[in-house]
Chains A and B, each alone.
Chain A
Amino acid sequence: MKPILSVKQLNTRFETFDGNVYAVNDVNFELMAGETLAVVGESGSGKSVTMLSILGLLPISTARVSGHAFFNKNVKAVDLIVLPANALNRYRGKHISIIFQDALRSLNPVQTVGEQISESLMTHLGYGKRKSYRRAVELLEMVGISQPDKRYYSYPHMFSGGMRQRAMIAIAISCSPDILIADEPTTALDVTIQTQITELIRRLQREMGMTVIWITHDLGVVAGIADRVMVMYAGTGVEISPVDQLYESPQHPYTEGLLGAIPNISATGKKRLVSIVGAPPDLFQEPAHCQFAWRCPYVFEKCWKRIPPNFKIGEGHLSKCFYDLKLKQPRTEV
């Protein structure tokens, strides 16, 4: 199977008055058609910025993006990073869509929900007014909004949180995209609604054959929905692995720490919650060595010398760490 999206050596930095912020540092991953890739990591680890960089959605005045993101649907792959805005607009919203965390702030408050769906249809598929109205109503129904023909004319503020996220999803899937990026789509919602939205996206993925990138920091959700997982730390993908392998034998100390920090509900006695010691590094420094070294329990001399490369652990399993967690010894480099 060929990857539908290959991201190579993606770097993003923000130029600020206080200096450069190195938000994304050498991110590489391949997305296979039809799969669900979960991207996990704590706040500020560069999950969202990676996706926004690929779609060219960062403010051009401050963000500097380099690297490649090959979109590989047609015969010839297109590098989205170098594409000028006009050409990029043929892919954004049509082939690759994104759902954001906060649907209230992500929907235009002065435009009806229906219009916000139809404008995508009109822009990308060349639909007329009536055709796009009919399709928009269908889409609203698909995402589970009752009385869709009436709701077409509602404004976002008249919707509940869950309905707004459903409307957001309707916009994102309106042109049957190949890739759907779900950027923490359930974080701002009630727990009961979270499950509904998760299920909705999964159902639509099956029905429409979409490839999904699911950004989250909920490792519980990941286990249920993802085929593969990329763990991000300080702007770089530290481990990428099929989901079952990741939970069975994490190969990066950070992943191990994350999994160890999941509270165990069946545990007896008054145990303290486990956490990873220390805090994430300062992103104002250009990384010159492993960014997890400060907090790593296995750290040794080499970790401070340079950035570890991607070590191949198994089929589709990569880890950016000099230490072999299985054998409890430093890895030998090829």
Chain B
Amino acid sequence: MLLGVLFLVFFLLHLTGDPVTLMVSRHASPSEIAALRQELGFDRPILVQFWDYLTNALQGDFGHSFRYRQPAMNLVMERIPATIELASVALFMAILMGVTIGILGGSNPNSILDSLARGIGLLGQTIPTFWLGLILIIIFSVNLGWFPTYGRSTFELFGLNIPDKSIVLPAFALSLFTTGQLARFTRSAVLEVMNEEYVTTARSKGLRKIRIYSRYILKNSAIPMISIIGVQFSYLLSGSIYIETIFSWPGLGNLLAEAVSTRDFFLVQATAFFTSFVVIGLQLVTDLIYMLVDPRIRYR
């Protein structure tokens, strides 16, 4: 699958045009352009180029960024912590809000609370994130001055660089789509489990409401939620291009946007490789968590 992604990205990139024309000055002569092209190896047949790239990649060499004149993977690695921070905080916010809203809605079907939950679910999924990001900046940074308008600042704690309040707005803006998703899925999962016969059994046993919720309803609704949270986390890790650009967050999305606009081929490919790697890796982690929660798919 990784191979497929690399292949696709490689060819799509080459369809966008010649990177060399963007690298040289406007006054460069055709012979100078040709020389540079030859030096970078872009004059060779595309399949040869791909084979070359692939064999190097397998040895850990993902090529050099044209713009930064550094190994592409190093640049990616530099940006990863910021993106992971942002995605994790956003996921945490989304779980906190989305799951709570979903549980409240699902356990009181067709109530006012439920309509509210469904409304928030729908809004979260339909508000464009870039628009929301800008609105948040106007309200909370420009008008109220509570948060910085852009950038990532950190403080040190136990030798680690922990982001300060500058992460709040971008993480919130990023989390809203996931919040909506989680609210909707949690609601339907809870609703479904509530109608299961084992919940009737639990009630017939005269158990307290809190136990019925914790041991029966929530534990069972958690199962379908795991895969959704897994998918959402990989979305958050890779899909923050808009947010990172708007808030100038020095993460992967920002790097990718830059690399695409300058046709920095190897950098785009390295980013794509990393992202697909994360998606596949998270899927594995999701499967492992499944085994922990659902005894029916536990192997011995």
A-side interface residues toward B, CB under 8 Å?
Answer: 52, 55-57, 59, 61, 85, 88-94, 97-98, 100, 102, 105-112, 119-120, 123-124, 155, 157, 168, 171
The answer to whether A123 and B206 have CB atoms under 8 Å apart is: yes
A-B contact pairs, 22 of them (CB 8 A): A57-B204, A88-B206, A89-B207, A89-B208, A92-B205, A93-B204, A93-B205, A93-B207, A100-B197, A100-B201, A105-B196, A105-B198, A106-B201, A108-B198, A109-B295, A110-B219, A111-B216, A123-B205, A123-B207, A157-B296, A168-B201, A171-B205
Which B residues touch A52, using CB under 8 A?
Answer: 200
CB distance from B296 to the nearest CB of A (A): 5
Given contacts A61-B110, A155-B295, contact A109 B198 (CB under 8 A): yes
The answer to the question of B202 belonging to the interface, with a C-beta cut-off of 8 Å to chain A, is yes
CB distance from B251 to the nearest CB of A (A): 37
Please tell me if the beta carbons of A93 and B206 are within 8 angstroms of each other in the complex: yes
Least CB distance from B244 to A in Å reads 38
- Contact assessment for B220 and A97 in the assembled complex, using a CB-CB cutoff below 8 Å: no
| Bound Cα distance from A105 to B220, whole angstroms | 13
Contact across chains for A108 and B205 when beta carbons are under 8 A apart: no
Interface size on B, residues (CB 8 A): 26
**Pairwise interchain contact A108-B204, C-beta atoms closer than 8 A:** no
Contacts of B205 in A (CB 8 A): 92-93, 97, 119-120, 123, 171
- Interface SS of B by simple majority: helix
Minimal Cβ-Cβ distance residue in B for A171? B205
Residues of B within 8 A of A (CB): 109-110, 195-198, 200-209, 211, 215-216, 219-220, 223, 293-296
**Contact A100 B200, CB 8 Å, known A89-B208, A171-B205:** yes
B198 touches A92 (CB 8 A): no
Contact A57 B200 (CB under 8 A): yes
Residues of A within 8 A of B215 (CB): 108, 111, 119
Of A90, A92, A106, A124, the contact of B197 (CB 8 Å cutoff)? A106
Residues in A whose Cβ lies below 8 Å from that of B195: 59
Q: Specify the chain B residue showing the minimal Cβ separation from A89.
A: B206
In the bound complex, residues from chain B placing their C-beta under 8 Å from that of A88 are 206
5 additional A-B residue pairs with CB within 8 Å, beyond A93-B207, A110-B294: A92-B204, A100-B197, A107-B198, A111-B219, A123-B207
Q: Are A155 and B296 in contact (CB under 8 A)?
A: yes
Compute how far the CA of A59 lies from the CA of B203 in the bound complex, rounded to whole angstroms: 11
Contacts of B208 in A (CB 8 A): 89, 123
Closest to A112 in B: B295
| Residues in B neighbouring A171, C-beta threshold 8 A | 201, 205
Do the beta carbons of B211 and A123 come within 8 Å of each other? yes
Q: Which residue of A lies closest to B196 (CB)?
A: A105
Smallest CB-CB separation from A59: which chain B residue? B195
CA distance in complex: A61, B194 (Å)? 12
Contact A110 B204 (CB under 8 A): no
A230 vs chain B, min Cβ distance (A): 21
* Complex interface: chain A residues within 8 A of B220 (CB): 108-110
Cβ contacts under 8 Å, B293 to chain A: 110
Contact (Cβ within 8 A) B204 A55:
yes
Contact of B206 among A61, A102, A109, A124 (CB under 8 A): A124
B295 & A108 in contact (Cβ 8 Å cutoff):
no
Chain B residues closer than 8 Å to A100, beta-carbon distance: 197, 200-201
A94 / chain B contacts, CB cutoff of 8 Å: 206
The interface centre, meaning the residue of A94, A110, A123, A155 with most chain B CB atoms within 10 A of its CB, is A110
Q: Complex formed: what's the CA distance from A105 to B198 in Å?
A: 6
The reply to whether A57 and B296 contact each other, CB–CB distance below 8 Å, is no
Nearest 4 Cβ contacts at the A-B interface: A93-B206, A92-B206, A93-B205, A89-B206
